[in-house]
Amino acid sequence: MRLALEILKTIFIVFSVPFLHGCAANWKSINHEFDYGSSERPEAMGTKVISIDAKQRLAISDAVGRFCSEPSPDAMSALASTFGLNISNPTDISGNTSGSSAESAASIGLRTQSIQLMRDAMYRICELERNDALDKSTAFLLHSGYQDVMIALLSIEQLTGVVRAPAVTLNTATTGSVSQNIKDLTELEESIQASLETKIKDQTKVEVAIAQLEKEKASAEKTKSDMAQESDPQDEQSFEAINQIIADKTTALEKEQVKLGLVNDEITSIKAQLELVKDTKSVHQTIATSASGGGTIQQESDASKLSKEATERVAESVEKIAIAALERERVLPACILFITGETERLARQRAEINAQRLAQTSKDKSADQENVLAKIEQTLQKTESSVKEASDLCREYMRSRPQSTKE
């Protein structure tokens, strides 16, 4: 008797755990894995394909923990399950079990075309970079550009209402609809203001770093001048060391000045966006005032139902946003990333050549090997000269640009 009860207890636990555990939510999910390579496609041997449904998203990670996570899903599901055990006669130890599960799914949220475009495009950048189709510098540059475009597109959608719920005619709820627009614009304004404050802090940090580098460079130049005025012969190594310090400070100072120029451009762009959002908010507040001032008005969720004056102001704001996004500085960041990448690549190649020369003894070194190394050295020198010319052009371009100042 006791043994039979223990057996029934064990059966109950075994059957109830899958129903009551959270993993049951994946019972109805599709997850199949198969090999893509075959004897007919030997180049694809080792390639695996995973088939999943719309409820799941992938987070692809490599061996060192770098990953690309897919955008969040647009649907959700709920699973309900029950399990029962009935013992009809304890003496005879007879019973039955029952279980059931049900799943429902629903679409959540309404994504505008801008959100859909930006989230998919930014994921594709990560995907391309993980597959070595883009280098890290290019991926960073594209991400930076997408941030500016995203703010512009979202601001335009707030103005024009490109994607909205089906047009509905309202009476007393008209003011509520406009208030919601004002609330959204207020949140957008606060977000842009927070970004502006962050960039201003970054600007201050860069300015402090520039001042410190200028001070250190001036100190090194003074030390060099004092050494040159001494009557005793100077130590050549000391002169080389102080010259190297001055060169390092000059390079670091130029990098910080470039960084300051980029931060100033971002601050100018964010301020322009902030002014546009404030103008848009003023337009909607005007509409709200007219709605609450007289009787009852009916307004559909359609931008064409705005007044002529409001429509003109919306059009002007959209034009300003588009121009600000298109006129964003893009040449200088691309130039800097190119020079940085080429400089690092040349440094690696030169280090490899030096390592090969050190590894070869005078007995092992043949004339052919020496000729190959000499040709590689000539190629590197030409490339370094080209990179130096590009660097000089970038510096000249940076000096010719009008400098933005913090208000």
First-to-last alpha carbon distance for the chain, in angstroms, is 88
What pLDDT does residue 263 have?
A: 84
What pLDDT does residue 334 have?
A: 67
**Please, how many CA atoms are within 13 Å of residue 339, restricted to the half-sphere of its CB?**
19
Compute the 3-state secondary structure of the chain and give helix, strand, coil in percent, each to the nearest 5.
65, 10, 20
Q: Sign of the CA dihedral 59, 62, 63, 64?
A: negative
Catalogue the long-range contacts made by 220-226 (C-beta closer than 8 Å, 24 or more residues apart). Answer: 220/245, 220/246, 220/249, 221/246
Each of the 407 residues of the chain gets a pLDDT tens digit; together they read 555 556 656 665 655 555 555 554 455 566 666 665 566 666 656 666 666 666 666 666 666 666 677 766 666 666 665 655 555 555 555 445 555 556 666 655 556 677 777 778 888 888 888 777 887 777 777 877 777 777 777 777 767 765 544 433 333 434 444 444 666 777 888 888 888 888 888 889 888 888 888 888 888 888 878 777 764 555 667 777 888 888 888 888 888 888 888 888 888 888 888 888 787 777 655 544 444 333 333 344 444 456 777 777 777 777 777 777 666 666 666 676 666 666 666 677 777 776 766 666 555 556 666 676 677 777 777 777 777 777 777 777 667 766 544 43
pTM above 0.85, yes or no: no
In the chain, where the domains are located: 2-108, 110-327, 330-407
Q: Strand 75-89 vs strand 48-52: parallel, antiparallel, or unpaired?
A: unpaired
**Please, how many CA atoms are within 13 Å of residue 163, restricted to the half-sphere of its CB?**
11
